[in-house]
Amino acid sequence: MNNHVTKLEYDVTINEASGPELHSEADVLKLAAAEMALGFVESGMLLGLGAGSTAHLAVRRLAEWLRLGRLRNIQGVPCSLETERLALSLGIPLTTLEAHLVLDLTIDGADEVDPQLDLIKGGGGALLREKIVAQASRREIIIVDESKLSPQLGTRWAVPVEVIPFGRGSQAAYLESLGAHIQPRQAADGSPYHTDQGNLILDCDFGPIPNPAALAGALGNRAGIVAHGLFIHLASDVIVAGLAGCRHLLRGAS
């Protein structure tokens, strides 16, 4: 797949998006992107259900469309325990990657998107499961508002790196050798944040990253690093909501 990005026409206006879950203008923008992404979902599909506040807007709207009969026979694979709880509370049928090795489509959010549609993800802490689900998906649709667009990954967001507790100090030293300024992630009570897998997250500020693929390789080859937030060549589509409407950016189109 090449890195050509096609910009399609605006076709969802912001005033079409509404709902009780909206608390800010940013939420309205994100819901507009979520509704456009759901337009690619067909009845009978296996869907990856993303993690984080933006993806949860899509999950809530998906549940509404299922109740209204706009979609039928959907099964979802959640990217986090929080998403699983939300989906179950909304009555969305769930399945697993053990039962279905390939998913038709995943809708998820991102923390930063570059012009090649490469991403930084993991602000919500579910980067490992999000990447597993993305890799299992035929199509990965990312929904963001314009504030998440960046000329270069690392300009606006640190790279989350998930490490096992054993040897975390050696991982921190390795990350610093790559140029990272590290901030161990904390839970709301100030204790170390633990992922759904019981691991730790080191938020690594590398500054603007000139070669994200090379950095991803350096991170991926290190024992003890379970996952990192660089999603390279995984997003097939990015839907960007702005005040003028939603843009659909498509990787690999001619």
Catalytic residues: 130
Report whether 121 contacts 63 (CB < 8 A): no
Buried b / exposed e over 150-171, threshold 16 CB at 10 Å, is: bebbbeebbbbbbbeeeebeeb
Cα–Cα dist 253/6, whole Å: 6
Place of tokens 């579910």: 126
Cα–Cα dist 193/230, whole Å: 20
Give the 3-state secondary structure of residue 48. strand
- What's the one-letter identity of residue 189? D
Name the β-bridge partners of 144.
240
Instruction: Fill in the DSSP letter of residue 208.
Output: S
Report whether 49 contacts 76 (CB < 8 A): yes
- Alpha helices for 109-167 (secondary structure H): 127-135
Report whether 127 contacts 229 (CB < 8 A): yes
Q: In what helix (H) or strand (E) does residue 75 lie, and over which residues does it extend?
A: strand 75-78
